[in-house]
Structure 1
């Protein structure tokens, strides 16, 4: 862990937190399952989502470690692409007219295997996560510190830890939150504005090459 700088870990944790708290396919799927089929279904679905994170972690680092060692300049392009995506995500979060992820939706009950598989596929097909691993996390890798592959794995595991913890909390609280927000649109707008603003700030800092 010594080759991974604390500021890199903090940067990845900040980005991961902002992204996991913004509405996206993973959150919508986990919330819908938890509300309609119960917490157990939500936890099983989350297991599939975590498996998807591990798949991205493995694939991205095995390929990117070689690429960045050979062409360091690619990091600059990746940083700008990641910043652009974070800005787009911030706008989608704040823009008026967006639906709440905590809106109760009717979905059929599924078996544990299907819940896990759907969680896995939802994450694997989620462009938000693909870009996170290809464009955002790699910019925190310090080529001068060596052990590029190890750095990528450690930083990826930090992202997975944050996403898993937050998503588990969302799964366990989804029913209560849905009921609370059902008649409190002001609270819902405040949450969206706060998360969108956080993503916007992270995007600007990332674009300037000095995130944390």
Structure 2
């Protein structure tokens, strides 16, 4: 029954994708650092302004997830110092974004704050090794141990993970964007700068915790 083998493979891939979505749902939609980062940006600048950073984050997510699935995490395990450096750098980077946002809200004559861009989104993912842990956990559950024929399953898991995460971040950004409509005056904008600067600072601390 050789003609059934391709259909069985497709069925197994669909089963893996469905199980993966169930597994990822609480991780993707709970209020984690990434969700709060994009919700805060959308609340301050509106949903449309978050699209470049969201694109950057998830393009980096796809490539980093595929790399981990194909063996990058082995290199990280052999150099734990690199993991610590990335963790600290990512936290400091988000903290710098928070500081810029707060300063824009309290200093007279300060430059108008800018929303996070494509590069900011990509850097947020690359410098957040906690994301690597989640990705490694996901592969440990859904990727078979044998090396042969690993490329296609890795790409499937990578794509499902990235798209599910993109949807979750979009939902959070849309929710944040609705808040922005309540702050149209300059005084309201200043308060929002300080409030969501504080949220981003909390995200930075969260990223730094074990």
Mapping of 1:105-144 within 5 angstroms?
Answer: 123-124=117-118, 127-136=119-128, 137-141=131-135, 142-144=138-140
Secondary structure at 1:128 match in 2 = helix
Q: 14, 27, 31: which one pairs with 1:8?
A: 27
1:203 aligns with 2:207: yes
The counterpart of 2:171, out of the listed 161, 178, 181, is 161
* Counterparts in 2 of 1:139 and 1:157: CA distance versus 1, 3 Å: farther
Shift of 1:169: 2.5
TM-score, scaled relative to structure 2? 0.55
Runs of 4+ displaced beyond 6 Å? 101-107
Residue 157 of structure 1: how far off its partner (Å):
2.2
Q: Distance in 2 between matches of 1:139 and 1:159?
A: 19
Instruction: Give the RMSD, CA atoms, in angstroms.
Output: 4.4
Distance, in Å, in 1 between the alignment partners of 2:207 and 2:19 is: 27
Residue correspondence of structure 1 range 26-45 to structure 2 within 5 A: 30=45
Offset from partner CA, 1:93-116 (integer Å, 9 cap, x none): 358982219989999xxxxxxxxx
Cα–Cα, structure 1 residues 201 and 2, in superposed 2: closer, same or farther, change >3 Å? farther
Pair 1:74–1:27, CA change in 2 (3 A): farther
Task: Call closer, same or farther: CA 1:129–1:9 in 2, change over 3 Å.
Answer: same
Render the CA deviation track for 1:103-144: whole Å, top value 9, x for unaligned: 89999xxxxxxxxxxx9xx732xx321123334345422211
Is residue 2:37 matched to residue 1:19?
yes
Larger radius of gyration: 2
Q: Structure 1 residues 75 and 160 mapped into 2: Cα distance closer, same or farther (>3 Å)?
A: farther
Partner residue, 2:67: 67
Given that 1:90 and 1:196 are in contact with CA atoms closer than 8 Å, whether structure 2 keeps it comes out as yes
What is the TM-score of this pair, normalised by structure 1?
A: 0.54
Specify whether residues 132 and 95 from structure 1 end up closer, same or farther in structure 2 by C-alpha distance, changes over 3 A only.
Answer: closer
Change (3 A) 1:166 1:196: closer
Size of the aligned set, in residue pairs, is 166
Shift of 1:87: 3.3
Aligned to 1:113: none
Q: Which residue of 2 aligns with 1:50?
A: 51
